[in-house]
Structure 1
């Protein structure tokens, strides 16, 4: 695992955008795995500016998002589909037919999960996966547990994750309690992984994921077994790293 510690969130975001842009320059038809949440926003903003300066081209790129809230339609204001369109896709030249997210309002979850895995496989797998990390060490919505889902599946969100996500909703009651999430094995099959973490509240999770031990109680710790991972943190998130 390669660890990069940047001074602050802005520096982290710039470095992350350069790493993603480099991937698309080296392989214009890259398959990117993308994340949502607060941490990647700076990266997406930088990539949009790079696109406007004609420094990066997304016309041949295919993307798959990690997850989507179960029960929310693609057009729901708090869906991850809306997040991606408003914060990234609507501002670059990626064709709508080339970005994918799980269908949150599906009537057949089992079928939707299977189809999502099939689409990733048909695309040749993920070349470059961007991840965030939860305060409890989750990646995607693979929450700490005795066992973890291997492939895309419907998962129950922990009270801690629900509480963390409540800031995006008008009331706590509106926060989805489940999500469709890519599984651990699917993440681990990515050729390269970039994990981003910013802020002191992520420091303990980062310390645990790099501890030298692997446990399903800290899903991100499994990344220690991957052959090509970049851990990109700011000084606050990396303060407990030895």
Structure 2
């Protein structure tokens, strides 16, 4: 585990983008291609702003993403497909991408995602951490043992409240009850994981993640078992770390 504490969310996003680009280019140099996973949400704004400007052979990159709400149309402001098209795909021309579709036949969508992501390792995964320490939509108590790459999960009330707090939905009742999410096991299979977690709202989750042993009730603690996990914080999200260090 490597922890990087920067002054601001912008600096944290920039340094994480540089490291992500370095790892992708290293994979391309060895294999001729790279496979990546991207996360979404307000915490990734600064990272993606810088990431799309990095010197990367994007035409050799295949992209997956972490999760999507069940039943939410792509036109909705909270749609993660919409998010990635607007903040990533319109700026870079990747070789191939797989967006999680929570509409239509969910079994077919899951089968295709699980087949495609299982074809080769993920070189670089960008995995955010939620206010309740979830990774992807694996809310506490998270299932650390499920081997399915993607699955349907129930969203907790704390997760829904975060989505409202970030302005994606007007009320908790508006947040879908389910999502398609990458599993914990699939995340851990990634060769390199980068977590960009800025802002004060994430400070308690960061403290809980770093202070506690691996615990299903603090899902992000499992990331400490990954050999190549880099955590990028700003002065706000790291503000409670010093209380116990």
Give TM-score scaled by structure 1 length: 0.90
- Indicate which of 103, 113, 116 corresponds to 1:116: 113
- Asked whether 1:135 is paired with 2:139, we answer no
Deviation at 1:238, TM superposition (A): 1.2
Look up the match of 2:86.
86
CA contact under 8 A between 1:141 and 1:181: conserved in structure 2? yes
Stretches of structure 2 that go unaligned for 5 or more consecutive residues are none
CA contact under 8 A between 1:57 and 1:93: conserved in structure 2? no
In structure 1, distance between residues paired with 2:100 and 2:85 = 14
- Indicate which of 125, 146, 156 corresponds to 2:121: 125
Aligned residues: 234
Between stretches 148-157 and 218-227, larger displacement belongs to 148-157
CA contact under 8 A between 2:215 and 2:221: conserved in structure 1? yes
Deviation at 1:212, TM superposition (A): 4.7
Stretches of structure 1 that go unaligned for 5 or more consecutive residues are none
Matches within 5 A, 1:27-176: 27-28=27-28, 29-50=33-54, 55-95=55-95, 98-107=96-105, 109-122=106-119, 124-145=120-141, 147-148=143-144, 149-151=146-148, 152-166=150-164, 167-176=167-176
Look up the match of 2:216.
216
Q: Which runs of 4+ in 1 moved over 4 A?
A: none
Structure 1 residues 102 and 27: CA distance shift in structure 2, 3 A: same
In structure 2, distance between residues paired with 1:195 and 1:47 = 14
Structure 1 residues 165 and 146: CA distance shift in structure 2, 3 A: closer
Deviation at 1:81, TM superposition (A): 0.7
CA contact under 8 A between 1:200 and 1:237: conserved in structure 2? yes
In structure 1, distance between residues paired with 2:224 and 2:190 = 14
In structure 2, distance between residues paired with 1:206 and 1:12 = 15
Deviation at 1:170, TM superposition (A): 4.4
Alpha-carbon deviations, 1:109-164, whole Å to 9, x = none?
Answer: 34432321211011x12111101111111000000016454421111111111121
Structural RMSD (CA): 1.7
Alpha-carbon deviations, 1:62-104, whole Å to 9, x = none?
Answer: 0110001110234444311110000111111224xx1112211
